[in-house]
Chain A
C-alpha cells in the first residue's frame, strides 16, 4: 500500500526527518574528524581546492531533481555553481529514509537542505572572521567566497578552520529575496553525461565476474512452477528455478535471452487465471458498497439531474529502461546496483529475503531510464539478490520489454459515476462515485488504516473529494473492488488521472448543458465567500485556481478566433492540495483519423502555480513531459485475459511519437510566491486529458467518456 501520506511517512528523505520527528543528530550535525575537507553534514563536502560535493538524496529518473536539489543547496550555501559535483546517497546510517515519489522531492527537501547549507555557510563565515578578527555580520558570501571590505577568502581556503567549528543549532536562512540561483533557469547538470554515453543507468552496471540472467516469471500472479525443461537451452551457464521464476544465466545478455527462448516451463495457474479486464470493468460499474468521502448539503432527487459515467482502463509505466538490477551476495552480505526510487525499501526487502540485517545490504542507486512509480517497489532487486546467492556470483537480471509490460505494477482501472443538478447557470448539486482498487503491491491497508477506512479511501480519492467548485450539495464516495489477481501500484500522478478526467469532463458537460462558456462557468463556480477550504488533509485555494485559469485563458487567447476546424478545451486541477494547474488545449479532428493519436493537438497552454519556483526550465520540461505522457494515455491501455496482460511491447501498447507531439506546449508560471515550493512531475499530468477531450467535444460534438479514446465508437 502506498498512499501519499504513508509514502511520505515511510520514504521521506533523511533530512526531512526533522519534519517527522526523527532527530538530525549524526546527520546534519556530524562533523567528520578529518580536517582535509569540510563536511559539516551528510549533504555538503568542500575540499581545499574549492570543489563542492553535494549529496543528492533523491533518485533521478528524468524529472531533474539532481539539478534542482543542487540549486537549493548551492544557493543557500552561496557556493560557486561551476565547482559543484554531485554524489548520489545510498541507504545507511546517514540516510534512513531515501525515496522519490509523490512529487514531494522539492517540497520536502526545501527546508532541510537550506538549513544544512545555511549551517555550513555560517561556519565558513565564522572561519573567515576568526582570521580577520571582524564581526560575522560585516561579512558577505557569494560564489564560494567570504568577503569583508576589500578582503576575500575562498571557501576552499577556509575548510580546515571551518571543519573544527561547532555546527550552529539554528542557522539563519537567507531571505527569499536574496536567493540567486533559485528562480533562475538552469540546464540539467547531468546533460553532458547523458549525451556522450557516459551516464550510467542500472542496465549499464558491470562488476567483475558478473553473469547475466533472463528470467521466466509466473504467467499469472500466484502461479506456481510445475516443471521446467532446459534440454534445448544451449550456450548458457545455468538454468535455475528460484522463488520468483526460472532464470537462464549466461556469460552475456544475448546468450541468456536466447537460451530463455528455448526454455520450456509449465505452471499451475492458481486462483487468478480467471481474471479478465472486461469483467473487472463490469464489477467496477456494479460496485455498490460505497464509503462516503465527502458530504455537504443534500443532493435533491431531481428529475433534472444530468448523469454521465466515465471509464478508465488499466495502464502500465513502460519506462524505456526496463526493470533490472545487479546483485552480488557473498558471505552473508549483499551489494546491489539498482535503478530504484526506493533505496531503503530495496535494502529492507532484500535483507528480509536473504535473512540478513539491512546493514548487510549495500544499495548503490543508479540513474534510471524513467521510473514513474514502477521503481518504488523492490521485486526486481529481490530476485537478483536471491539469484546471486544461488550462483555465488554477481549477476544482472535484465527484464525484456515483454517482461516489463506483463509483470507490471499496473495503474488501476476505474469507473466514475457522476451526476449533478444545474440551476440558473450554476451547479446546485454534485455527486461523484468513484470505483477502483487501492495499490496492493505492498499488501492490504494496515491496522491503522483499517480503523478509519473513510479516511483511507479519501486519501486515495484525490481529484474526487477535493472537487474545488463551490457547490451547495456535494456527495463523493469510494467503492472498492478487490483486485488480487494482478499487482496494482503507484503510477505517475497516482490516483489523479482517472478522477480528474472524469471530474473536469463532467464539469464541461454541465457548462455546455447550461449553455455557458466552459472557462467562465468554472470561474463562476470557483467564486465563493471562502477562497480556501479543506477536504480531508487537502487544502484547495480557489483564488489560486482562478488565477491559473485566468492566466491560461489569457495566454491561449481563449475566445479569440481559430482556424477552421480548430477548437479549444479547458480543465484545471489542484494536485494533492498543492500545485494548482490550468490547461487550455487546441485541437482539430481530421475526417480521416491521423495515425497514432487520431486527432491533432496543435497547442497546449499550461498555467502553473507551484509556490516558490526553483528551476523554471525544469518546470517547463515537466509540463511538456506531462502533456505528452497524458496524450499517450489517450492511446493505450493494458487489458487482461485469463490473468495475463495482453500487451507486450510498443507495438500493441503505443506511445505518442514525434509527429503526434503538439507543435506548441507553453508553460506560464505564476510568479514565485510564498516560502514553500511544491512538486511538478505529477501535477502536470491530470488536467491535460480533460482539456484535450473537452476541445474534441467542441470540435466534433462527441463526448469521450472512455479511455483509450475511440472517435469512431
Chain B
C-alpha cells in the first residue's frame, strides 16, 4: 500500500518492519500483520488485560500502544516466552492446571512475568496489585495466585 509509513521494532528477538497507519494499535499489528495470534483482543480500551505483552521487562497493553509508539522498542509476546512451555511461569501454570478457556491467560502470564521481574518473591498483596487490571471470566484467580508463588520459587 502506498502512502503508509513504516515502523520498525523488535518482537521476540526479531527485528520487524511493518507498514501501517500510525494509530494502529500494536495488538492488531501483532495479530493481523505478524500473525502472532497468542495475544488476544478482549475490550480494546485497556481494561481487561487480554492483550498484555512485555516491553522490556514491563507489561503493557498492546491495544493502548500505537505502532508509532512501538517503534524502536523491544517486545515479548506469549510466543516468545518459550515455544516449548519451559518458561518458569508457563511451567507453574501447567503444574497448577490454571487455564480454563485460556483466552485471557497469555495476558495474565505476561503480567506475572513483569511482576516477578521486579519482585522475585511477591506477596499476595503484590499479586493483587499487579493482576487486578486483568479479568478472567472463568475464574482462574486462585490457581493463578498459586502458580505465581510456585514460579517465584522456581526462578
Contact B44 A369 (CB under 8 A): no
Chain B CB within 10 A, most for which of A197, A628, A662, A664: A197
Q: Given the complex, which residues of B lie within 8 Å of A319, measured CB to CB?
A: 101, 103, 137
Q: Which residues of the other chain, A, contact B25 by a CB distance below 8 angstroms?
A: 254
The residue from B37, B134, B137 contacting A197, defined by CB atoms under 8 A apart = B37
What's the least CB distance linking B24 to chain A, in Å?
5
Q: Which of A11-19, A131-139, A201-209, A408-416 contacts B (4 or more CB under 8 A)?
A: A201-209
Q: Can you identify 11 A-B contacts, CB atoms within 8 angstroms?
A: A187-B97, A192-B85, A197-B78, A199-B38, A203-B40, A254-B25, A320-B135, A401-B43, A624-B142, A649-B47, A650-B48
Closest chain A CB from B6 CB (angstroms): 15
Stretch at the interface among A95-103, A116-124, A653-661: A653-661
Asked whether A168 is an interface residue with its Cβ less than 8 Å from the other chain, the reply is no
Q: Which of B41, B79, B142 contacts A196 (CB 8 A)?
A: B79
CB-contacts of A586-623 with B (<8 A): 617, 621
Decide: B23 and A258 in contact? CB cutoff 8 A.
yes
**Neighbouring A residues of B44 by C-beta, 8 Å:** 257, 400-401
Q: A320 with B48: in contact, given A370-B103, A658-B128 (CB under 8 Å)?
A: yes
Inter-chain CA distance A198–B94, complex, in Å, is 14
Residues on B with C-beta less than 8 A from A320 are 40, 42, 48, 50, 101, 103-104, 135-137
Tell me whether A255 is interfacial, beta carbon within 8 Å.
yes
Chain B residues near A (Cβ < 8 Å): 20-21, 23-25, 28, 31-33, 35-45, 47-48, 50, 77-79, 81-85, 90, 93-94, 97, 99-106, 109, 124, 127-129, 131-132, 134-145
The interface on chain A, measured as residues whose beta carbon lies within 8 A of the other chain's beta carbons, has a size of: 65
Inter-subunit contact A650/B135 (CB<8 Å): yes
Contact mask for chain A residues 307-343; partner B; CB cutoff 8 A; 1 contact, 0 none: 0000000000011111000000000000000000000
Known: A254-B21, A624-B142. A191 touches B99 (CB 8 A): yes
Chain A, Cβ-Cβ closest to B106: A197
- Contacts A235-B21, A625-B100 aside, 9 further interface pairs with beta carbons under 8 A come to A188-B97, A194-B99, A252-B28, A253-B41, A320-B101, A320-B137, A625-B138, A658-B141, A658-B145
A195 touches B90 (CB 8 A): yes
Task: Give A109 Cβ to nearest chain B Cβ, in Å.
Answer: 19
Interfacial chain A residues near B21, Cβ < 8 Å: 235, 254-255, 258
**CA separation between A203 and B134, bound complex, in Å?**
19
* Docked CA distance A659–B137 (Å): 14
Stretch of A60-68, A148-156, A171-179 on the interface side: A60-68
* Nearest residue, chain A, Cβ from B81: A196
A201, A370, A651: which contacts B137 (Cβ < 8 A)?
A370
Nearest chain A CB to B103 CB, angstrom units: 3
Q: How far is the CA of A77 from the CA of B107 in the complex (A)?
A: 38
Most chain A beta carbons < 10 A, residue from B36, B39, B103, B141: B103
A487 at the interface (CB under 8 A from B): no
Query: Using Cβ atoms and an 8 Å threshold, which residues of chain A touch B106?
Result: 195, 197
Residues of A contacting B: mostly = loop
- Given A320-B48, A320-B104, do A197 and B139 touch, yes or no (CB 8 Å)? no
Given A206-B35, A370-B101, are A665 and B85 neighbors across the interface (CB < 8 Å)?
A: no
In the complex, which of the residues A258, A626, A658 has the most CB atoms of chain B within 10 Å of its own CB atom?
A658
In the bound complex, how far is the Cα of B82 from the Cα of A665, in angstroms? 31
Query: What's the least CB distance linking B142 to chain A, in Å?
Result: 5
How distant is B97 from chain A, measured CB to nearest CB, in Å? 5
Known: A197-B36, A197-B106. A661 touches B100 (CB 8 A): no
Assuming the contacts A198-B38, A369-B102, A658-B131, asked whether A649 and B43 have C-beta atoms less than 8 A apart, the reply is yes
A367 in the interface (beta carbon within 8 A): yes
What is the CA–CA distance of A561 and B136 in the complex, to the nearest angstrom?
34
Is A540 an interface residue, CB under 8 A from the partner?
no
Residues of A contacting B38 in the complex (Cβ-Cβ under 8 angstroms):
196-199
Task: Kindly identify, within residues 147 to 172 of chain A, every residue whose CB is under 8 Å from any CB belonging to chain B.
Answer: none
The answer to whether A659 touches B132, judged by C-beta atoms less than 8 angstroms apart, is: yes
Most A C-beta atoms less than 10 A away, residue of B20, B38, B50, B99: B99
Using known A-B contacts A320-B137, A369-B40, A370-B101, determine if residue A621 contacts B90 with beta carbons closer than 8 Å: no
The docked-state distance in angstroms from the alpha carbon of A661 to that of B143 is: 11
Most buried by B among A198, A200, A367: A198
Question: Do residues A199 and B28 form an inter-chain contact, with CB atoms below 8 A?
Answer: no
- Indicate whether A32 reaches chain B with its CB closer than 8 angstroms: no
**B124 CB to nearest chain A CB (Å):** 8
For B103, list chain A residues within 8 Å (CB).
62, 201, 319-321, 369-370
Given the interface pairs A401-B44, A657-B131, the reply to whether A196 lies near B138 with Cβ below 8 Å is no
User: Would you give the shortest CB distance from B88 to chain A, in whole angstroms?
Assistant: 12
The minimal Cβ–Cβ distance linking B143 to chain A, given in whole angstroms, is 7
Q: Once bound together, how far apart are the Cα atoms of A109 and B36, in whole Å?
A: 36
Q: Return chain A residues, CB-CB under 8 Å to B144.
A: 658
The reply to whether B77 and A318 form a contact with Cβ atoms under 8 Å apart is no
Q: Which of chain B's residues have a CB closer than 8 A to the CB of A370? A: 101, 103, 137-138
Which residues of chain A have C-beta atoms less than 8 A from B128's C-beta?
658-659
Known: A195-B109, A658-B134. A650 touches B47 (CB 8 A): yes
**Beta-carbon contact of B142 and A661 below 8 Å:** yes
CB neighbours of A201 from chain B (8 A)? 40, 103
Q: Given the interface contacts A62-B138, A655-B137, A657-B132, does A617 sit within 8 Å of B97 by beta carbon?
A: yes
* A-chain residues with CB within 8 Å of residue B137 when the two chains form the complex: 318-320, 370, 372, 629, 632, 655
**A239 in contact (CB, < 8 A):** no
Contacting residues, chain A, for B36 (C-beta < 8 A): 197
**B139 contacts A624, CB within 8 Å?**
yes
Known contacts: A195-B90, A197-B37, A650-B47. The answer to whether A656 contacts B139 by CB under 8 A is yes
Docked CA distance A193–B23 (Å): 31
Is A190 interfacial (CB 8 A cutoff)? yes
Closest B residue to A60 using CB positions? B101
**In the complex, what distance in Å separates the CA atom of A167 from the CA atom of B17?**
58
A253, A258, A626, A662: the one contacting B31 at CB < 8 Å is: A253
With both beta carbons as reference points, the residue of chain A lying nearest to B96 in the complex is identified as: A187
Query: Among B82, B105, B144, which residue has the most Cβ atoms of chain A within 10 A?
Result: B105
Is A510 in the interface zone, CB < 8 Å from B?
Answer: no
Bound Cα distance A204, B28 (Å): 12
In the bound assembly, the distance between CA atoms of A617 and B124 in angstroms comes to 23
Q: A325 CA to B99 CA in the complex, in Å?
A: 23
A627 within 8 Å of B (CB atoms): yes
Beta-carbon contacts under 8 Å, A224-276 to B? 235, 252-255, 257-258
A651 to B48 CA separation, bound complex (whole angstroms):
9
Interface positions of A from 516 to 532, Cβ below 8 Å from B = none
With A196-B38, A212-B32, A400-B44 in contact, is A625–B102 under 8 Å at CB?
Answer: no
Among B23, B132, B141: residue with most chain A CB under 10 A: B141
Q: Which of A196, A257, A367 contacts B84 (CB 8 A)?
A: A196
| Given contacts A64-B100, A258-B23, A661 and B141 within 8 Å (CB-CB) | yes
- Residues in B neighbouring A322, C-beta threshold 8 A: 41-42
Q: Does A254 contact B141, Cβ atoms closer than 8 Å?
A: no
Distance A541 CA – B130 CA, assembled complex (angstroms): 45
Which residues of A have CB within 8 Å of B105?
194-195
In the complex where A64-B100, A201-B103, A370-B103 touch, is A187 in contact with B42 (Cβ < 8 A)? no
Question: Chain B contacts of A204 at CB under 8 A?
Answer: 31, 37
